[in-house]
């Protein structure tokens, strides 16, 4: 019988520790005998906004909560945050490096920044001791320097969590004729990194198809990531008919998220009607959004809340009938999962993995595009649908079946066990 706890074993006989490593070390095994690896997590190179974790930090914290009971400690390479205390346990050791938000910077500045960040991360990884598995996530699938170091020179297991392929995001976010050349270079680097990786995590089977990752299916893990929710916190507490806001937007105010297009659609929906909207979040388009609301004379019908803590978000979601996600690009947006769990009707573009969970007329509504007119049409179509309660119930059932912490935890436990024991 194998007991949970620390067991000393010769490393050369344990496949998870990589080739060429000799000697012994103490390893943890769970009650089922599965090895609990020490994890190096490179995820969430972003910071807090007004004391609230940014989307990158929040996603990293969700992945950490998933990995903590399955690992023998986590070294988290992250930004120099001064507010991490209280967000992680003693089992998680932050390894801090400098970080800046460069989304609005010139292209050459972005290239220089990413190269310097790769070097900084690589230098940190060299100093980390006793790591068995490195996980690269949050758009780091083209960080070839630290990935190559971890896989080839350190001989460690490498997992890449693909959040929608950086080469695709480049085509969407960089303007001008040079974007295709930059995207091609990044794509070549991605392909090399995916070949080097032991496993590649994607949010859904749909993502495998749209991002042309079929050639990596033998090493792909689907649905083993931070895309889960706490249904004890996010659950339905208010009937649709009793909710304060007819329409809502949750998240960052930026171009990729389609936040301005959402605002431009509101005059087509709210004018001359007894409807109201709310926006929860903030970002670089904040001022432009406020000017647009004023210019269209609907500022009194749209409440802008700003960023709120996660424990308060469930309350706002239970005040919204429709949550609109008009993104240009996505992975598996946690906002959609949380909204569905709270009984909201999600109206979204078919971006990223959203088609995996939003089936038109069954679990939500799919927009033709994120143009203002199509968003307005989608909102009107949803609000006039006769069976909104049943659609909301279908969405809740899907979340409870596939996207709770407990369900994803079991998937992750099984997958890590296979990886650590050298099985496909």
**pLDDT of the residue at 207:** 85
Contact 81, 94 (CB under 8 A): yes
Alpha-carbon dihedral of residues 221, 222, 228, 231, nearest 10 degrees? Answer: -120
Do the domain assignments include residue 149?
yes
Pairing of strands 39-42, 48-49: unpaired
**pLDDT of the residue at 246:** 96
Report how far residue 268's alpha carbon sits from residue 296's, in angstroms, rounded to the nearest whole number: 10
Tokens of 151: 């896989």
What does the pLDDT profile of the chain (424 residues) look like in tens digits? 333 333 333 332 333 333 323 334 445 555 555 678 999 999 877 777 666 677 778 888 899 999 999 999 999 998 887 677 778 888 898 888 887 776 667 778 888 888 999 999 999 999 998 999 999 998 888 899 999 999 999 999 999 998 777 777 666 665 566 767 887 888 899 999 999 999 999 888 888 888 888 888 889 998 888 889 999 999 999 999 999 999 999 999 999 899 999 999 999 999 878 899 999 999 999 999 999 999 999 999 999 999 888 889 999 999 999 999 999 888 889 999 999 999 999 999 999 899 999 999 999 999 999 999 999 999 999 999 999 999 999 999 999 999 999 999 999 999 998 898 875 5
Contact 120, 146 (CB under 8 A): no
Helix (H) or strand (E) holding 341: helix 334-341
Residues 252 and 167 in one domain: no
Phi, psi of 172 (to 5 degrees): -80, -35
In the chain, helix, strand, coil percent, each to 5? 45, 20, 35
CATH of the domain at 384: 3.40.50.2000
Contact 379, 356 (CB under 8 A): no
SS3 sequence of 264-294: HHHHHHHCCCCCCEEEEEECCCHHHHHHHHH
Residues 157 and 279 in one domain: no
Report how far residue 81's alpha carbon sits from residue 92's, in angstroms, rounded to the nearest whole number: 14
Residues 411 and 397 in one domain: no
Do the domain assignments include residue 233?
no
Give the residue among 164, 142, 137, 103 at the shortest CA–CA distance from 351: 164
Helix (H) or strand (E) holding 406: helix 405-420
Can you say whether residue 23 is alpha, beta or left, with left for phi > 0 and alpha for psi between -120 and 50 degrees? Answer: left
Give the residue among 45, 43, 348, 351 at the shortest CA–CA distance from 168: 351
What pTM did the predictor assign?
0.83
Q: For the chain, how many structural domains are there in total?
A: 2
Residues 345 and 416 in one domain: no
Evaluated on CA atoms 329, 332, 335, 341, the torsion sign reads positive
**pLDDT of the residue at 376:** 97
Alpha-carbon dihedral of residues 264, 286, 52, 128, nearest 10 degrees? Answer: 100
Residues 180 and 304 in one domain: no
Do the domain assignments include residue 255?
yes
Tokens of 334: 């946690």
Do the domain assignments include residue 234?
no
Contact 319, 238 (CB under 8 A): yes
Report how far residue 64's alpha carbon sits from residue 290's, in angstroms, rounded to the nearest whole number: 36
**pLDDT of the residue at 138:** 85
**pLDDT of the residue at 5:** 39
Residues pairing with 94 in the sheet:
76
Residues 180 and 220 in one domain: yes
Do the domain assignments include residue 105?
yes
Report how far residue 191's alpha carbon sits from residue 142's, in angstroms, rounded to the nearest whole number: 9
Residues 253 and 211 in one domain: no
Do the domain assignments include residue 235?
no
Residues 153 and 263 in one domain: no
Give the residue among 248, 239, 186 at the shortest CA–CA distance from 211: 186
Residues 171 and 251 in one domain: no
Residues 408 and 379 in one domain: no
- The whole domain housing 200 covers 5-227+404-420
Report how far residue 76's alpha carbon sits from residue 42's, in angstroms, rounded to the nearest whole number: 6
Task: Kindly give, in sequence order, each residue whose CB lies less than 8 Å from that of residue 406, ignoring residues fewer than 6 positions away.
Answer: none
Residues 221 and 339 in one domain: no
Q: How many CB atoms lie within 10 A of CB 120?
A: 16
**pLDDT of the residue at 336:** 96
Residues 149 and 68 in one domain: yes
Give the residue among 187, 146, 195 at the shortest CA–CA distance from 42: 146
**pLDDT of the residue at 260:** 97
DSSP secondary structure letter of residue 344: P
Task: Kindly give, in sequence order, each residue whose CB lies less than 8 Å from that of residue 28, ignoring residues fewer than 6 positions away.
Answer: 4, 5, 6, 7, 35, 36, 72
Do the domain assignments include residue 324?
yes
Report how far residue 214's alpha carbon sits from residue 119's, in angstroms, rounded to the nearest whole number: 30
| Residue 422 exposed, middle or buried by CB count within 10 Å (0-12, 13-18, 19+) | exposed
């Amino acid at each position: 019988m194998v007991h949970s706890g620390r067991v000393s074993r010769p490393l050369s006989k344990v496949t998870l520790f990589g080739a060429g490593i000799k000697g012994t070390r103490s390893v943890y095994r769970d009650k089922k005998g599965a090895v609990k690896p020490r994890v190096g997590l490179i995820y969430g190179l972003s910071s807090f906004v007004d004391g609230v974790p940014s989307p990158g930090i929040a996603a990293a914290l969700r992945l950490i909560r998933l990995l903590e009971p399955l690992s023998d400690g986590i070294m988290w390479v992250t930004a120099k945050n001064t507010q991490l205390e209280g967000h992680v346990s003693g089992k998680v050791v932050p390894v801090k490096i400098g970080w800046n938000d460069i989304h609005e910077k010139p292209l050459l500045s972005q290239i220089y920044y990413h190269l310097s960040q790769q070097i900084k991360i690589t230098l940190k990884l060299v100093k980390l001791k006793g790591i068995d598995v490195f996980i690269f996530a949050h758009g780091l699938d083209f960080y070839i320097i630290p990935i190559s170091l971890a896989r080839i020179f350190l001989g460690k297991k490498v997992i890449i969590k693909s959040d929608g392929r950086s080469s695709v995001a480049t085509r969407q976010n960089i303007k001008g004729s040079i974007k295709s050349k930059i995207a091609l270079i990044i794509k070549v680097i991605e392909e090399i990194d995916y070949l080097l990786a032991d496993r590649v995590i994607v949010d859904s089977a749909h993502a495998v198809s749209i991002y042309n990752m079929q050639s990596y299916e033998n090493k792909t893990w689907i649905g083993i990531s931070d895309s889960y929710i706490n249904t004890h916190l996010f659950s339905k507490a208010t009937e649709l008919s009793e909710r304060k806001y007819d329409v809502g937007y949750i998240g960052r105010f930026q171009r990729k998220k389609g936040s301005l297009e959402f605002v431009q659609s509101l005059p087509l929906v709210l004018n001359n009607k007894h409807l109201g909207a709310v926006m929860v979040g903030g970002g670089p388009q904040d001022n432009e959004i406020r000017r647009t609301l004023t210019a269209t004379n609907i500022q009194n019908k749209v409440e802008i809340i700003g960023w709120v803590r996660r424990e308060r978000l469930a309350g706002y979601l239970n005040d919204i009938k429709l949550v609109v996600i008009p993104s240009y690009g996505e992975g598996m947006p946690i906002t959609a999962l949380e909204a569905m769990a709270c009984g909201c009707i999600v109206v979204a573009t078919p971006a990223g993995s959203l088609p995996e969970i939003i089936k038109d007329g069954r679990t939500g509504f799919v927009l033709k595009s994120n143009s203002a007119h199509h968003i307005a049409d989608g909102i009107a179509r949803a609000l006039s649908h006769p069976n909104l309660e049943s659609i909301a119930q279908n969405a809740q059932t899907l979340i409870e079946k596939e996207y709770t912490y407990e369900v994803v935890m079991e998937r992750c436990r099984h997958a890590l066990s296979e990886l650590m024991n050298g099985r496909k």
